[in-house]
Each structure stands twice: as C-alpha cells, then as structure tokens.
C-alpha cells in the first residue's frame, strides 16, 4: 500500500460543491451547513439534485443516475476546488458504478469529504483516482451544523492541515504497540459490504485501518469483522484505530468483541479516536502515511493531509 496524491488545501474564496450521493437531505440543515461554509469565506454551490427524493424509495436522494451525474459534474467542473457530501444514509453503492472514472481522473485532484455510507466512494477514489480523501462530517449533517468541535477540526484540515497532523484518542489501547502504515478505512458495515466489488480495496496490507460504525449490535460487528478476517482482507494490516460505535450495544460487550476479533492480529489497536458517528467528530485523512502509537493514544501523520 502506497501513499496517495494529496490535493491542494483550500483558501479564501474557494468554490466547494455540495452533492448528495446517498440519502435524502433536509433543506433546513443544508442551509445551515451552507451558512457555515460561507462563514469560512468559501463559495458553496449546491448540485441540482441535492434536495431530490426518490419517487418510490424514500431512503434515496433522487435517482441513481441523477446522484451520479451531480457528483461527476461537480468533480469535472474546473471551477470547483472541493466536493463535500451533504449526508450519508444509503445509496452510494447504487451509483458508484455509473461514474465515468476516466473523466474524473482527467479532471485532476481536488478535495473530497464525507463519511458513513460515503465509505464506498472513499474506496473508489483511492483505487480509481489514487487520491487522499477526508473522512469527515457531512455538510448538512446535524453533527456538523450543531457542533463547533467538528466544525473547527474540518475547517483546520481544509485550510491549515499542518495544525492537525496529530490526532489523539480519548480512550485506552486495546492492544499495545506502535506501527506505521498508510491510512484507510471508514464505516465497517460498508467495508464488509464492498468486499469483492470492482472499486473496493483488495485488502488492508501495510495499512493503518480506521473503522467505526453506528447502530450495529455486537453480534453484527462480530459478523462483519469475521467476514473481513475470513476473506483475508485484514492480512498484513499494521495497526487499527477505532472510532465511534454509537448505538452498537453495551460498550463492554462490544469491547469484548473488538478484542476477540482484532486482538489475534498481533498489531496495535487503539480505542475511541472520536471519528465517525459521534459529537465533535474529527476529520480523518485516508491515503497518508502515519504512525499509530497505542500507548500514547496518537495517530501522527507524516505530512499534512492536504498540500
């Protein structure tokens, strides 16, 4: 696993496109998110179908074709410096195969931000475009528009990434040790569901895996980790940083599952890094070389996430 290309950081006046590749978006939260971006001296533009709702499947933000067209149009627009996802939910898997990856590669690197269901796109951006991406808050997400900590960490990552090169855990080491590798990961359920698809990573070898999830009971987390183990996807992973597990059952039970499934890999595992589905979520870069120090509870990037 090698480092990926780092896009350029944003500056005042940068144009950012907001797209909805997955679930439907609440207009009031979208407007709140746009106001925040404007307050950062950014120029946000909303893709045409962001507020659409699928006529029959209410959990989708419009048709697969329209969601894909919005993302591709935004990415290929030379005036756009970054593409931010409005929310997660479900639907990215349905549209990822409709994207013209050759055209998007030709458009060159730019910043891409999203989390949760957007894990599918993070994987595709790594394998098809070779780009560092940011696993960070959704532009119209309640955990973003109502949380100053999440806002500030994303803002710093976008504008002054050298100030957030060290990310700190809020919890203890599940397995001690120190490891170096290239960051990857996302939402566990999406990584498991993506196995075997043509845009997904083939494994985590030589990587530092960053994973989290929401609303999955401990036995389901067990099942997904076991699937990754049985397929060999976790073979050669160097270390694991765990994010939030909101709604995933009693944490003492979940912790037992995590220790049972990950402890045998012989690599450092650190809990509670505070990314994903939680208040004040940190923005985590995928595709950069870093060091995970379990005893210190730190993940330190060799270089800033953005150039």
CA distance 278 to 241: 15
Q: Which helix (H) or strand (E) holds 291?
A: strand 289-293
* 218-231 helix and 251-262 helix, angle to the nearest 10 degrees: 10
Active site residue ranges: 116, 212, 277
- How far apart, in whole angstroms, are the C-alpha atoms of residue 73 and residue 68? 8
Compute the half-sphere exposure of residue 214: CA atoms within 13 Å on the CB side of its CA.
13
HSE-CB at 112 with a 13 A cutoff on CA atoms is: 29
Beta strands per DSSP E along 225-265: 239-242
How far apart are the C-alpha atoms of 150 and 33, rounded to whole Å? Answer: 12
Report how far residue 62's alpha carbon sits from residue 92's, in angstroms, rounded to the nearest whole number.
Answer: 12
């Amino acid at each position: 696993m090698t480092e990926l290309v780092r896009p350029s950081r944003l500056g005042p006046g940068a144009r950012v496109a907001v797209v909805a590749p997955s679930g439907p978006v609440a207009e009031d939260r979208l407007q709140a998110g746009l106001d925040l971006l404007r307050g950062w001296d950014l120029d946000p533009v909303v893709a045409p179908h962001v507020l659409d709702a699928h006529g029959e499947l209410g959990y989708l933000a419009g048709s697969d074709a329209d969601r894909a067209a919005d993302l591709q149009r935004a990415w290929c627009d030379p005036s756009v410096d970054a593409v931010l996802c409005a929310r997660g939910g479900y639907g990215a898997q349905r549209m990822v195969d409709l994207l013209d990856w050759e055209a998007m590669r030709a458009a060159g690197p730019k910043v891409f931000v999203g989390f949760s269901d957007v894990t599918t796109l993070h994987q595709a951006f790594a394998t098809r475009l070779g780009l560092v991406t940011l696993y960070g808050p959704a532009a119209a997400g309640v955990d973003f528009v109502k949380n100053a900590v999440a806002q500030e960490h994303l803002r710093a990552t976008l504008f002054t990434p050298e100030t957030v090169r060290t990310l700190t855990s809020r919890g203890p080491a599940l397995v001690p040790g120190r490891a170096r590798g290239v960051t990857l990961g996302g939402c566990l359920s999406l990584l498991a569901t993506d196995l075997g698809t043509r845009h997904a990573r083939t494994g985590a070898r030589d990587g530092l895996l960053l994973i989290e999830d929401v609303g999955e009971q401990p036995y389901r987390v067990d099942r997904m980790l076991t699937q990754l183990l049985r397929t060999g996807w976790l073979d050669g992973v160097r270390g694991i940083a765990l994010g939030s597990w909101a709604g995933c059952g009693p944490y003492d039970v979940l912790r037992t599952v995590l220790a049972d499934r990950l402890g045998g890999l012989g690599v450092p595992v650190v809990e509670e890094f505070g990314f994903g589905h939680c208040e004040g979520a940190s923005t985590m870069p995928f595709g950069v070389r870093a060091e995970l120090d379990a005893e210190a509870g730190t993940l330190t990037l060799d270089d800033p996430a953005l150039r």
